[in-house]
Amino acid sequence: MILASQSPRRIELLREAGFDIAIQPACIDEAAHEGEAPLDLVARLASTKALTVAASAPEHELIIGADTIVILNQKILGKPQDNAQAHEMLRALSGKTHLVATAVCIAAGGRLAHVLDAFVDVCEVEFWELSDTEIDTYIASGEPMDKAGAYGIQGIGGRKLVKGIHGDFYTVVGLPIARLARVLTRLNSHT
C-alpha cells in the first residue's frame, strides 16, 4: 500500500493503525478552480494525489490520497504563506465555529489506474475568542506554518485555541483513520 502524502501525521496514523505503507508524495497544483465548492475542491485534490501516484505504481497496488481544508463561512483557508497570513486566519477563526474537511481517495495502481473508493469527512471546530497577544504567541511557536487554517489541533492549538469539536478529531489532524481503516479492510477482503 502506498500513501501519496508527505504529511508526517498521516504516515504516523496509518502506521499506528497497523498498516504497512510506503510513502510517495504527489506534487500537484492545489489551487481551486473558478467557482469550485470547497468540498468539491478537497475531494478533487485527494483523488488527483491518489491517481497521480497510481499511474506509475504496480498493478493492483492500493494508493491512498488525502487532502485537508478549513472552511469558514464557505471560504477556504489553506496553509498560511507567512506570519501575517497566519495572524489573519486565526483572527478570522477567533470566537467562531468552522468546518474542517478531509477527503480520502483510495485508488488501484497500474496502467488502468482508477478510483476504488472515496469519501469526504467533515468535523465542526469551535474556537475560543483570541486576543492579538494569544495569536502572536501561538504563531511564535512555529506550529501554524504547514497546516491548513494555521493551527494544529493535535498540538498547542488543541490546548489553547479549541473550545470544542463535533466529529472525528483525526479528520481535523488530516486523516479520519477509523473510517479509512474500515474501507481498507473491506477492500483488502475483496482482493
Query: How many whole angstroms separate alpha carbon 27 and alpha carbon 68?
Result: 15
Nearest residue (CB) to ligand TTP, 138 versus 151: 151
Answer yes or no: are the C-beta atoms of 92 and 72 closer than 8 Å: yes
Question: Which of the residues 67, 121, 132, 146 is marked catalytic?
Answer: 67
Task: CB nearer to ligand TTP: give 25 or 95.
Answer: 25
What is the closest distance, in whole angstroms, from the C-beta atom of residue 28 to ligand TTP in the complex? 8
Minimum gap (Å) between residue 181 Cβ and ligand TTP = 18
Q: Is 158 exposed, middle or buried (0-12, 13-18, 19+ CB in 10 A)?
A: middle
Q: Is the backbone of residue 59 left (phi > 0), alpha (psi -120 to 50) or beta?
A: beta
- Helix (H) / strand (E) element for 49: namely helix 38-54
Chain residues that interact with ligand TTP, rule: CB under 6 A: 5-7, 9, 25, 49, 66-68, 70, 100, 147-149, 151-154, 157, 172-174
Report the nearest approach of ligand TTP to the CB of residue 131 (Å). Answer: 20
Residue whose CB is less far from ligand TTP, 59 or 140? 140
- What whole-number distance in Å separates Cα of residue 79 and Cα of residue 90? 12
Q: Is 67 a catalytic residue?
A: yes
Q: Catalytic residue positions?
A: 67
